[in-house]
Amino acid sequence: MFLPLNIDSISGLFNSNIILGFLLVGLLNGVLMLSISYKFLQVVQQCGYNGKEYAKWLIRKDNANFNGIMMLSLLSVLGFMLINMALSFINDYWVSYTGFAVYVLFLIFYFINEFKKKEKVPLVVTKRMIRLLITFILVVIIFSFILIMGVNVLAIVFKGALIANFRYAVICFCPMCVPYLLLVAFYINLPLENAIINKYVKKCTLKLKEREDLIKIGITGSYGKTSVKEILKVILSEKYKVSATPLSYNTPLGISKTVKRFDGTEEVFIAEMGARRVGDIKKLTEIVSPNIAVITGVVCQHLETFNKIENIKKTKYELIEHMVDGKAIFSCDNLATREMFKKCKKPSVLAGINTKSKPHVYATDIVVSENGTAFTLHIGENTASCSTMLLGKHNVSNICLAVAVADTLGLTISEISSAISRIQPIKHRLELIKSNGLYVLDDSYNANPEGVKSAIDVLKTFKGNKYVVTPGIVELGFLENEKNLEFGKLLSKVATGVILVGRARALKIREGLLESGFNADNIYMVSSLDEAKKIISEIAKEGDVVLFENDLPDKYL
């Protein structure tokens, strides 16, 4: 018997067999807590292993995940006490443990229910995640041990059958502690993780500094970073061996992992640089030491962490300030970047489609259709007719930025126009997919106010009924409600039907639609993307077009 009922002194609890028993129960509870922690681990990873961001998500009033796990705890406590009460007439030590059966049963039901749910961004089991899992289990074991030891001390101090029978019900509160215990485990590991990251970053920085022959390009902005990077990679491949950060690997660790895979034949390295706080771009610039810097545009995206638009501008300009030498490329299609260009003391050029600002690289005669985009490219006095499979004027602006870099690196306009024709649609960034007779515009990667306007402009070029599926725009801080209201008003001018996923932001979009006189019968409120797709299958017919604008990761749901 290692969970005692008959110990009458506190010193009696410190028996090796009893302590071992407590630890074994803690280990079992650790495994059980791990089985229900998937969602919280997933969010930690989606928050970029940022403890403050995870904590902010955790205390959200509308956090359905925490509410669900709290309900699990309360039901487990109630079930534990009811079954122990029903068996209280039996005067034997094992009665106080019977409630554990209900506890485990509820945990199994919860696990099965969570397992059935579809996830948008699956948990990636990295080495860092494995370290976090191990620490988390150890934290749960220690926490469980303290709980069990504590209630047994109370049972000895305050003698009575009631405390004796219900003492272990306290373990049932563990599920609602899971997200907080995970946060404790995260911060325990943080010094080690920072040391590991710093080790990678130092190696990366040294490796890039040793490659004096390598042309290094940094790209940042509130939007368009990945698109410009992918376009530039194609164009520069006409002349150079190019390596670029994959997907959205735009953090110090992401860049370091990319550089680690260098084989020594690279002639150009393109680094996408993301930021959420002042100083982030400075760190990345110090790692890469770019020869060429590109700023795509600045809007209120990530205002939630930057607090004010001036901080976003300041952070993006860090790329120029901390670039040792070389040339800066600014978009002429964004007010903030035009202002940056004017104050820039380093060699710099403007590029884009706003010809009033007299850019060095620009496009005219832009014709957008469902099959792609045609335009005339201008590089100084040279011109060329170009066509691309990319959709929308905003992508022509992105192409102009990439062309300005290519021109700086000596590519001819003929080489550039040839490469432009080979640019493939970029995944989840206004990617056109034909499915079951429908035109699907997949713009699900991310949404920002400028991107939304661009997507709607592209949607206008299609014939047939136009349906939009969206959960709204996030990370806009105090402007979030205002921008989603505007989003609804923009949709009212082009959409036949709108399917809104979720509640918070969706309600503001709905308000904007209704204020603009949109028919309420053509607004559908759903809780998941699967429900939205089901509605589309029922209302859309051959030749119609469906725009998927933003697909929020699990941490926003």
416 neighbors 400 (Cβ within 8 angstroms)? no
294 and 356 share a domain?
A: yes
Structure tokens at 143: 């926490």
| pLDDT tens figures, 512-555 | 999 999 999 999 999 888 899 999 999 999 999 999 998 755 55
CATH number at residue 502: 3.90.190.20
Residue 350: name the closest of 339, 186, 196 by CA.
Answer: 339
Within-domain flag for 202: no
Q: Is the dihedral of CA 316, 317, 320, 321 positive or negative?
A: negative
Predicted TM-score (pTM) of the model is 0.83
CATH number at residue 223: 3.40.1190.10
401 and 439 share a domain?
A: no
SS3 category, 407? helix
Among 127, 160, 193, the domain-final residue is 193
Within-domain flag for 360: yes
73 and 148 share a domain?
A: yes
Which residues 6+ apart lie within 8 Å of 382 measured at CB? 413
98 and 231 share a domain?
A: no
pLDDT at 480: 87
Within-domain flag for 206: no
223 and 189 share a domain?
A: no
540 and 496 share a domain?
A: yes
| pLDDT tens figures, 338-390 | 999 999 999 999 999 999 999 999 999 999 988 899 999 999 999 999 999 99
Average pLDDT over all residues of the chain: 89
437 and 303 share a domain?
A: no
Res. 5: pLDDT tops 70: no
342 and 449 share a domain?
A: no
450 and 412 share a domain?
A: no
Alpha-carbon distance of 382 to 365, in angstroms, equals: 15
Q: Which domain holds residue 496?
A: 431-556
pLDDT at 2: 42
Out of 155-159, 411-415, 426-430, 491-495, least confident range: 155-159
Within-domain flag for 244: yes
Of 50 and 385, more confident: 385
Q: Using pLDDT thresholds of 50, 70 and 90, give the confidence band for residue 91.
A: low
DSSP 105-137: HHHHHHHHHHHHS--SSPPP--HHHHHHHHHHH
